[in-house]
Structure 1
Amino acid sequence: MTRTQVDLGLRADCASCFGLCCVALPFQASSDFAVDKPAGQPCAHLRADFRCGIHDRLRESGYPGCTVYDCFGAGQKVSQQTFAGRDWRRHPGTARAMFAVFPVVRQLHELLWYLAEALDLSEAAPVHGDLRRTLAEVDELTRADATRLQGLEVGPVRERANALLLRASELARKDLPGRADHRGADLVGARLRGADLHGASLRGALLVGADLRGADLRRADLIGADLRGADLSGADLTGALFLTQAQLDAARGDTETVLPPGLGLPTHW
């Protein structure tokens, strides 16, 4: 994590959250979740203390989707700041608003994460001023009251931030040769073993189940790339842009996979 990401509280603190991801969000029975659960209904495994009753065996219990979710610190922000520590069990009147606000703040916190990372890119200095202003604006939005947050349209905010993130990415990669552009590409199951993707744009690319063993992903832009089940064994992700721990947790790899600073090898690799 960058210093700015730490200062903004963008790491999830489940002990300070009222289990919001386990209640507010829906999930469907699939390879990621064992059962269906509608939005607003607590997961059957959520305990009275808002902790997960099967946290240490989520994958074996059929809930790998939970292991790759990251709220970027939105859970504790909504629980402790927006609703001032009033939980939805003891104060049921807060439940509907709290569950509506959480996904909004989560999206804003994700934007803050990326904006903070972009500010850490020295090559993106020409847009650092705009990045700082946008980060401050988004941070202020996360501190709004529940009424404003429920009515907030995140789309326009995301569009403005994404334009800056794209520019920062281009500046960070501009001097790299052969920068392949695979933005939004359907690369599901693609055979990319040993591929030269140094400095490539893989923004929003579908890399589900892709074979990326030994691939050169140095300085590749991976914002929003779907890496579920992708094999990153031996891949070099040095300096990869906008890569998150959740993306790595959704992928496969080994001890030979080279990661950027601040990210760790998932325990299931």
Structure 2
Amino acid sequence: MPDRTADWTDLRADCARCFALCCVALPFAASADFAIDKQAGEPCPNLRQDHGCGIHARLRDKGFNGCTVYDCFGAGQKVSQITFGGQDWRGGSAERARRMFDVFPVVRQLHELLWYLSEALTLPAAGPLGDDLRRLLGATEALTRQPPEQLAELDVAAHRQEVNALLLKTSELVRAGTRGRRKDRRGADLMGARLKGADLRGANLRGACLIAADLTRADLRGADMIGADLRDTDLTDADLTGAFFLTQPQVNAARGGAGTRLPDSVTRPAHWTAQL
């Protein structure tokens, strides 16, 4: 039987327990998402000495939309407090800082896989896969607790492939419970598509490009959303009840409002309210 509840606590970002790794380790380029260029390993100029953001309340106004979309799935506190035992990248050796910055993106990918596996275990239709899901969940968690040297050399792509094969089986079982014809839009280019009020119940939207698509009042109940690009997608009054493998970064990147119905695994972004 599947686990009907999931503990998302360790898979949600806790910035108070992180040494602002996303603000230092990751690069970004001047674009619609970021106001400036920044190299990997270079602290963002808005980063304060206490690891807080100097413009946190004004990120979107200052051209840093990408910061409000990003989520590390709890990898930041894992690397800061467990992998490196609470040692800050500041005040230590350059080698330790470099290693922290190398390890953080690896653990972030593993934590994203933990999110999907944890969610899969809550889906009743995935009951027949429960043992395999729990096995891979445990194996993935074990990988996140390896020493920094091993994490830096980990072939995440190979492990992701194994997890993805099981998530595909999960998706097939879950979507089989949707009546009627289930649309297959896996990997489809739907950029700017006019899908207002579309019936996408139980649809396969894995990896679909939905950038700036109009999904207002669309019915996405029970749809597989893994890897779908929802940047600037209009989800106003859309129904995503029961949509699965939908992550917080995807929701953060989209547009929506009070009438958008979301699954319990994600929260309504604060900037949606600001758009009203």
TM-score bracket, shorter-length normalisation: over 0.9
Moved >6 Å (runs of 4+): none
**Percent of paired sites with the same residue:** 62
Task: Determine which of 241, 246, 263 is the counterpart of 1:243.
Answer: 246
Q: CA RMSD in A?
A: 1.1
Q: Give per-residue Cα distances to partners, 1:124-170, cap 9 Å, x unaligned.
A: 01111000000000000000000000000101100000111111111
Task: Determine which of 175, 180, 191 is the counterpart of 1:188.
Answer: 191
Name the SS for the 1:99 alignment partner.
helix
Q: TM-score, normalised by structure 2?
A: 0.95
Matched positions, count: 267
**Is residue 30 from structure 1 mapped to residue 39 from structure 2 by the alignment?**
no
**Is residue 125 from structure 1 mapped to residue 112 from structure 2 by the alignment?**
no
Is the Cα–Cα contact under 8 Å of residues 26 and 39 in structure 1 kept in the other structure? yes
Name the SS for the 2:11 alignment partner.
coil
Residues in 2 aligned to 1:35 and 1:184: alpha-carbon distance in whole angstroms? 31
Determine the structure 1 residue equivalent to 2:226: 223
Residues in 2 aligned to 1:175 and 1:105: alpha-carbon distance in whole angstroms? 34
Name the SS for the 1:237 alignment partner.
coil
Distance of aligned partners of 1:22 and 1:3 in 2 relative to their CA distance in 1, 3 Å threshold: farther
Residues in 1 aligned to 2:224 and 2:5: alpha-carbon distance in whole angstroms? 21
Where does structure 2 lack aligned partners over 5 or more consecutive residues?
none
Give the Å deviation of 1:264: 2.4
Name the SS for the 1:79 alignment partner.
helix
Q: Give per-residue Cα distances to partners, 1:187-210, cap 9 Å, x unaligned.
A: 000000011100000001110000
Give the Å deviation of 1:243: 0.9
Determine the structure 2 residue equivalent to 1:103: 105
Letter in 1 for 2:129: V
Where does structure 1 lack aligned partners over 5 or more consecutive residues?
none
Is the Cα–Cα contact under 8 Å of residues 225 and 243 in structure 2 kept in the other structure? yes
Q: TM-score, normalised by structure 1?
A: 0.97
Q: Give per-residue Cα distances to partners, 1:87-142, cap 9 Å, x unaligned.
A: 11111331110000000000000000000000000100111100000000000000
Task: Determine which of 130, 136, 139 is the counterpart of 2:138.
Answer: 136
Letter in 1 for 2:157: G
Name the SS for the 2:270 alignment partner.
coil
Give the Å deviation of 1:266: 1.6
